[in-house]
A and B are shown apart, each in its own frame.
Chain A
Amino acid sequence: MTSISIENNTSSFNGIYVFFIANRLQLLYFLYVMPTVLTHPYMIWGIILVGIFSQLNLILLSKWLSSEHASKGYPGFVHLFGQWMMRVFAAVGIVVIGIKVTVVTLGYVEIIHQFVFPSMNPNWLIVFIMAVCCYTASLGMGNAIRFSVIAFLCSIWMILLFYTFFMPPIASLPDLYPLIPEDWSNISWKGLLLIWSSLSGPEYIVCIAHLLNPRGSFLKYFTFANTLSVLEYLVLFIASLFFFGSKFLSLSKFPIVTMARYLQSPIFERVDIILICLNIFNLVFGVSIFLLCFYGALRILGKKLQTNHSKWGIQIICIIASVWLIAANKWIWREEHQSLLLNLEIWGSSLTYLLVPLFLLIFSRKKRGL
């Protein structure tokens, strides 16, 4: 009998993981605040339009993922950009990831604090959430990638509960008018930017490209992930239009959660508490991936890539992150500074989503040309 390697089957992830990772990373915090910014029914087209642009971006990303450079991992990046540039990118990445983790985590903590535990000190919530994220991250990147399947299965079904908002008497078609804007100047570029930023996240897959099976049909799975994300955003936005109406949508800070408060079951009168809590699966998955990327970027900066990964390293990162989050929650995540942090996150995510695939492809072409 000839022997086959089982290790390869478990460590090399198929394209299907690209679907889970991309989809779950596209549905983090902004899912809850997006309807507040979009408000107008014709922004449905905005979601579809930006979704199409996102798809074009993902085509570029999948092309790079199928390239020789992607499968090499860090040496592939060094070959493209050089070591000095890699350190610059790592430094920028640390800042961008730091802002993303801050906004995503503090945003969720705010939701939990407001809807589930109004009397609890939010610092405790940060500590508990970060402890779980730390545990998931400390299990390594391979396990974090596999956790995407669990996060997906534990959270995807929740979208089905919103079907009730599409049923009369809550749903009234006139709430969806006008579908074509009467005045083009009304189209909020901020809204479009927010959608683009919300659909960001798949660019972080470049950090785990070496773990993916290069023969995986990435474009197919990216397309599925992006389509599903766009559909989820559409379902939630249309549901919130039916529920609040265009005029009142901007008055609620978290329209999706507020809507969920009206969902009922024969056993539980308030299902929203369960739904908010279950969304932590998504958050934990996202944050653990970001923490591992953060750790990787620090290793690049500290020229420590030759040394083995250490559990202590990731745990120290988690402790620092927790302390930072508690501090940020106390001093930055306040009414006066919150929008600044949100804007930074929107711009940061939008730029990374736009530039990462573009840069990688341009440099790959350039190298091939040389």
Chain B
Amino acid sequence: MFWKKEKKQTLQKGQQNLSLGLLKEILANLEDAEIVERQKPEGQCFTFIYIRTLIDQERMNEALFEPVLHCTNESIQDCISTSKAEEIFTLGEAEKQLLAGSVIIFDSLKKQWWSVLLTNNLGRSIETSDTETILYGAKDSFSEQLDTNITLIRRRLPVTELKSEKLKVGSLSETTVVLMYMEGVTNPEFVSIAKEKINKIDFDLFFDSSQIAAFMEDHQNSIFPQFQQTDRPDVCAYSLGIGKLIILVDNTPFVLIGPVTFFHLFQSPEDYINRWPVASFLRLIRYISFILSITLIPLYVALTTHHYQMLPLQILFVLVESRSKLPFTPFWEALLMLIILEIIKEASLRMPTKSSQTLGVIGGIVIGQAAVEAGFASKVLIVLVGVSAIASFLVPNYLVTKANTMIQFVFLLLSSFLGVFGIVLGMIIILAHLNSLTSLRQPYFAPVAPLYWKDWIDLFIRGPLTKMKTRPDHLHPFQKWRYSKRR
């Protein structure tokens, strides 16, 4: 079969001996590939082969050309002090090194091939996180450079127990993935599961950590994220400290944290900065907001369509007055407004910051006010849509917010058919689904189901830090205690 043939050829290419002719053949039609020949006064000739756009050209002159051409030592390795030279033997190795940002040097006299890594470290500086902003606490966030990201974590956890393992994924993108965990804290089963999953990935291109997550998730058809994605080093360091592992992906500022539970996605870095009663209150508000965001509009439809007898008379008067001139049923009215809201939300995300502010004004005042006056929506619904939209943003994880929207639409449909009963049926399905999910093969709905009572101190409320003496049981950490037992 033809693909087997091609595989065989690739294998041969990888093992083929190096020659200038073959290298030139590979680099044909590569505009940015350079082959430079330099001769020493005594006659020894060196050929430098590199891809201009991948290397630091300023460094090349001072770190490579000058030392090599003026070197009197036997070996190139001894001449280059600022970078590390490695001897290479096969065409495959040369190709790999070239694409990684190395300069290949051919010593014509000794017939030796060397590679010197001179990668061009392009990248932005360390900036504040846009997706998880907090008022107090560290402001730095990850960038696209893998080494910088590792440094940011290592600075927070300066211990040798913090292990990092490098893996490669993507047959075309050759993306570097780094798995980090705390040896002696993180359960090794998580590490082996993660490694097994990464090694099993068979795909060509990876540009983002969420693509890696898509291959590593236990339940790919679920709307709930089974890995936490963050660009905050402090969140990563905290997660490592309590027994989770993290996966860093090259060229991505977002890091994957696993295993996670549904409840981890409601935790914010600020929870551990605020005083514990305040943090607990805010966390409870977040859960209430989540429930409100998915049930408020469906409840409006359920009450106005099926169970108006549930409402006190005064509220009923307000509702009847508000809906008296509307041409649509509550379901269509709510559906229309929710779709408009989603359009505004998506548009404001894609537009420049200044334009999105204008969009907010147009969406909030013009469309909202005009919809009521034109008789498309009731005032009560506009209020509820606004509350529901704001409530959905209280969940710190953006992926959960998006899942909220989908749930809201499904609940809307159920409530129009079955009223409150439909919403409850929908909730059962969601809870049963969450109960069946796993993240790195660990229960997603822990510590509620399966039940770990002790972990409830940091679940719906955030208990005092001094009382949180053990790491979460549901993560099965090797070191259970968070303080020295001698104390």
Point out residues on A near B: beta carbons under 8 Å: 1, 3-7, 9-10, 13, 16-17, 112, 116-117, 125, 128-129, 132, 135-136, 139-140, 143, 146-147, 149-150, 153-154, 266-270, 273-274, 277-278, 280-281, 284
Contact = CB atoms under 8 A, between A and B. Distances in A.
A13 B436 CA distance: 15
A4 B435 contact: no
B189 A6 contact: yes
Contacts of A268: 310-312
The 7 lowest CB-CB distance pairs between A and B, nearest first, are A146-B449, A277-B424, A139-B436, A149-B449, A270-B310, A136-B432, A143-B436
A16 B424 contact: no
B333 interface: no
B428 A273 contact: no
A139 B432 contact: yes
Contact of A147 (B315, B432, B443): B432
B425 interface: yes
A270 B312 CA distance: 8
A1 B449 contact: no
Nearest to B478: A1
Given A269-B312, A280-B428, 20 more contacts: A4-B476, A112-B421, A116-B419, A117-B419, A128-B422, A129-B425, A135-B432, A139-B436, A147-B449, A150-B435, A150-B449, A270-B307, A273-B310, A274-B310, A274-B420, A277-B424, A280-B421, A280-B424, A281-B424, A281-B428
A1 B184 contact: yes
Given A4-B189, A143-B435, A150-B449, A277 B420 contact: yes
B405 interface: no
7 contacts: A132-B428, A146-B435, A147-B449, A150-B431, A150-B449, A280-B428, A284-B432
Contacts of B422: 128
B339 interface: no
A19 to B, nearest CB: 10
B448 A150 contact: yes
A3 B188 contact: yes
B164 interface: no
B307 A273 contact: yes
A269 B308 CA distance: 10
B187 interface: yes
Nearest to A137: B432
Given A270-B307, A278-B424, A6 B442 contact: yes
Nearest to A148: B449
B309 A269 contact: yes
Contact of A149 (B313, B420, B448): B448
Contacts of B476: 4, 6, 9
Contacts of B311: 268-269
A146 B450 contact: yes
A277 B184 CA distance: 48
B38 interface: no
B418 interface: yes
B445 interface: yes
B92 to A, nearest CB: 36
Contacts of A273: 307, 310, 419-420
A140 to B, nearest CB: 8
B451 interface: yes
Contacts of A6: 187, 189, 441-442, 476
B183 interface: yes
- Residue among B184, B432, B450, B478 with the most chain A CB within 10 A? B432
Given A1-B183, A10-B450, A128 B306 contact: no
Interface in B387-412: none
B421 A116 contact: yes
B429 interface: yes
A192 B396 CA distance: 54
A330 to B, nearest CB: 21
B428 A284 contact: yes
Nearest to B475: A6
A266 B450 CA distance: 35
Which of B311, B312, B313: most chain A CB closer than 10 A? Answer: B312
Contacts of A284: 428, 432
Given A1-B188, A117-B421, A273-B420, A136 B428 contact: yes
A277 B298 CA distance: 15
B189 A277 contact: no
Contacts of A150: 431-432, 435, 445, 448-449
A143 B446 CA distance: 12
Nearest to B476: A6
A9 B450 CA distance: 9
A236 B72 CA distance: 98
Contacts of B310: 268-270, 273-274
Contacts of B188: 1, 3
Contacts of B445: 146, 150
Given A1-B478, A149-B448, A280-B425, A143 B432 contact: yes
A193 to B, nearest CB: 32
A107 to B, nearest CB: 16
A116 B425 CA distance: 14
Contacts of B428: 132, 136, 280-281, 284
A143 B219 CA distance: 15
A213 B111 CA distance: 69
Interface string B79-99: 000000000000000000000
Interface in B140-155: none
Nearest to A283: B428
A270 B418 CA distance: 17
Contacts of B442: 6, 10
Nearest to B183: A1
Contacts of B418: 117, 128
B309 A16 contact: no
A208 to B, nearest CB: 15
Nearest to A150: B431
Given A117-B306, A146-B445, A4 B187 contact: yes
Contacts of B432: 132, 135-136, 139, 143, 147, 150, 284
Interface string B40-52: 0000000000000
A3 B450 CA distance: 21
A280 B445 CA distance: 20
A136 B310 CA distance: 30
Contacts of B307: 116, 270, 273
Nearest to B442: A6
A112 B187 CA distance: 48
Contacts of A116: 307, 419-421
